[in-house]
Amino acid sequence: MDGKRGLSFYILTGVFILFLIFLYGPTITIAILSFQGPEGGLTFPMRGTSLHWFRDLFAEQAVGDIWGSFRRSLALSMMVMVTTIVLSVMGGLAFRRRFAGSTVLFYVIIASLVIPSILVSLGVGLMFNQLGWNINWYTSAFGAQLTWTLPFGLLIMFAVFNRFDRSFEEAARDQGANPWQVFRHIVLPLIAPSLIGVALFGFTLSYDEFARTLLTAGSRNTLPLEIYGMTTNVTTPVIFALGTLTTVFSFCVIGTFIVFALIWQKRQARRVSDAGKGMV
Amino acid sequence: MSSQDQTAPRASLTSAATPGTEAGKPSLARRILSDGFSSWALALPVTLVLAFFLLAPIALIVVVSFWGSTSFSIYPAFIFDNYEYLLGSQVTYSVFLQTLKFAFLTWAITLVLGFTIAYYLTFHIHSLTWQIVLFLLCTIPFWTSNIIRMISWIPFLGRNGIANQSLMNMGVIDQPLEWLLFSEFSVTLAFVHLYTLFMVVPIFNTMMRIDKSLIAAARDAGANGFQILTNVVIPLCKPGMMIGSIFVVTLVMGDFITVRFMSGSQIANMGRLIQNDISLLAYPGAAATSVVLLITVLIMVAVMLRLVDIRKEL
């Protein structure tokens, strides 16, 4: 806490580095192990290095419908992401004023965050069953995942609008802009960087969601379900290869979002505004 | 907030247009028309999604928990068999305690760890850029797959894993430790690994908002580092600690996959009881366990929400 760096700085730096190793170490370990030679097992030592297990992934057969499940996961995450952005912005705008039922809705949103995933999964599955509807990744799983991504999106938007300077809107309104024009030309550009944050949550939480999809996806799996299935019957490093690939994919997605957010923030720093700083 | 300064000019316009009829207060219809974006209309889609995919399914679970079941089907009824069976079994209580134990252990460890990390980022890193970079480093794993992150521990903790081999090479142990993987230890470790971020983020968020002059004032008044920590920083971080705690406790209470995977199916928690019933197609039993779990979680959250006003923290 002192300006000069005392003993506590070095101790805490050590703790922080250990924490990072703890966070990333296992992931790096399986990334290394996924390059095992064809004879290699699930743990060290490495028996040669090869791309054998990655090649296995691309060959049809042994490991189920990985690419089909990847495509479905991708499509589902895009659907969830777009829906989360649109509904969160609308919800954020709605909550700028108190309205009848707003407190109840707020606590339902919190409930959506704290109710165990398995209950949502079970409930949605049962409901579709009782209604005589088929469960599908693009209907029941889509809805079940929204109950997890929407609270994050909405809470981000609430935080953003709490810090939002209304004088810009008032200025536009004074000049005769209609509500849609105010939203399109004033509000939307100002909240855009935070929307990238909402998009990131919407996409990644859906892409990796397991529990809420388990009982709602039906016969055609998403990628996390496919990977889960593999853990019970695959005992070769092919599962590490898949894990490494999907983690690399996640890193690329996260990196893209972060770069976008930084660019937006730079652009905005040039025009004078402090909106959107609520979310990093 | 500023709903007043928004309606005020409009109200005066209205009363000017129709003198005497709507003194000061515009009608609902007129407000919807003049606002263009009515709050209700805007909140409707979210409300519908949550009503249909959260409230209705949970209500159905409560209803089904009173239904009856045979070994191959379930039928509507209003019976307490599922609860009698659940609450009459000794297993339920030990599983319930095990669930609480994981929640408490994970909560305590992630709280201390998360607080330490947030404290380091806030008070020891002085450049905003570095704060953001290091903070992102801590949060990125949150956006990757939990299942992959669990699988990643196997080469580390296994019988012939890195941990055992290093310890044996160092001569600390003669034979592999059996309790590293598929044990309470590995389950707790995985929980801490997965969920510490949920503590770091909200605590860091509140800590960054602490006015640094308060700390300077405390030091001027003669407080030492430890006293500043306990008398200034920790009290001001309570909201963040509470929000983090809500996340961690509810995630661990409702978990089934981490316990299943990291214990090699040898340890049970409430979530696994539910999942077992589901795999046996015993939905009413699963529903009854779900209701007990739901009530437990909601009580815990209600208690924690009394200690923090989330709407103020946003």
**Taking CB atoms and an 8 Å limit, are A119 and B149 in contact across chains?**
no
Residue B12: give the domain boundaries. Answer: 1-36
User: What amino acid is encoded at A195 in this protein?
Assistant: L
CA distance B89 to chain A (A): 22
A122 interfacial to chain B (CB closer than 8 Å): yes
Residue whose C-alpha is closest to residue A166's, from A79, A97, A266, A98? A97
In whole angstroms, give the CA distance from residue B122 to residue B131.
7
Question: Looking at the structure, do residues B11 and B154 belong to the same domain, yes or no?
Answer: no
Q: Domain count of chain B?
A: 2
B69 phi and psi angles, rounded to 5 deg: -145, 145
Residue whose C-alpha is closest to residue A222's, from A235, A234, A205? A205
| Averaged confidence pLDDT in chain B | 84
Residues 46-85 of chain A whose Cβ lies under 8 A from any Cβ of chain B = none
CA angle B177, B179, B183 (to 5 degrees): 160
Number of helical (H) and strand (E) elements in chain B, helices listed first: 18, 2
Q: Which residues of A14-40 are buried (b: 16+ CB within 10 A; e: fewer)?
A: eebeebeeebeebbebbbebbbbeeeb
Question: Looking at the structure, do residues B2 and B145 belong to the same domain, yes or no?
Answer: no
Q: In this model, does residue B4 exceed pLDDT 50? A: no
Q: In this model, does residue A62 exceed pLDDT 70? A: no
Contacts of A12 in chain B (CB under 8 A): 116, 119-120, 124
Among B41, B278, B301, beta carbon nearest to A114: B301
Q: Tens digits of per-residue pLDDT, B5-24?
A: 443 343 333 333 344 344 44
Q: What is the percentage of chain A residues whose pLDDT exceeds 90? A: 35
B75 phi and psi angles, rounded to 5 deg: -140, 145
CA angle A161, A165, A167 (to 5 degrees): 135
Question: Looking at the structure, do residues B31 and B99 belong to the same domain, yes or no?
Answer: no
Q: In this model, does residue B37 exceed pLDDT 60? A: no
Q: Tens digits of per-residue pLDDT, B175-197?
A: 888 888 888 999 999 999 999 99
Among A116, A166, A183, beta carbon nearest to B2: A166
In whole angstroms, give the CA distance from residue A25 to residue A237.
17
Among B120, B148, B310, beta carbon nearest to A227: B148
Question: Looking at the structure, do residues B25 and B126 belong to the same domain, yes or no?
Answer: no
Q: Tens digits of per-residue pLDDT, A176-194?
A: 888 888 888 888 888 888 8
Q: What is the ipTM of this complex?
A: 0.87
Residue B83 located in a structural domain: no
In whole angstroms, give the CA distance from residue A262 to residue B205.
19
> Of A135-144, A151-160, A253-262, where does mean pLDDT reach its minimum?
A253-262
Task: Tally C-beta pairs within 8 A across A and B.
Answer: 269
Residue B253 located in a structural domain: yes
Measured between CA atoms, the residue of chain B closest to residue A130 is: B60
**Taking CB atoms and an 8 Å limit, are B283 and A122 in contact across chains?**
yes
Among B58, B144, B145, beta carbon nearest to A119: B58
| End-to-end CA separation in angstroms for chain A | 24
Contacts of A96 in chain B (CB under 8 A): 1, 39
A 10 A CB-CB count for B212 gives 10
**Alpha carbon A142 to chain centroid, angstroms:** 14
In whole angstroms, give the CA distance from residue A164 to residue A158.
10
Q: Hey, which CATH number is domain A65-270, 1.10.3720.10, 3.10.110.10, 3.40.50.880, 3.40.80.10? A: 1.10.3720.10
pLDDT of residue A271: 63
Question: Looking at the structure, do residues B133 and B241 belong to the same domain, yes or no?
Answer: yes
Q: Tens digits of per-residue pLDDT, A42-53?
A: 777 777 778 878
Residue B59 located in a structural domain: no
Best residue of A74, A109, A114 to probe chain B, by most B CBs closer than 10 Å: A114
Domain ranges of chain A: 65-270
The more confidently predicted of residues A16 and B174 is A16
A 10 A CB-CB count for B158 gives 21
For residue B134 the two structure tokens come to 């290091």
Q: CATH number of the domain that B137 lies in?
A: 1.10.3720.10
Number of helical (H) and strand (E) elements in chain A, helices listed first: 12, 0
Residue B128 located in a structural domain: yes
In whole angstroms, give the CA distance from residue B165 to residue B156.
9
Question: Looking at the structure, do residues B179 and B273 belong to the same domain, yes or no?
Answer: yes
For residue A248 the two structure tokens come to 């690399």
In whole angstroms, give the CA distance from residue B98 to residue B100.
5
Residue B14 located in a structural domain: yes
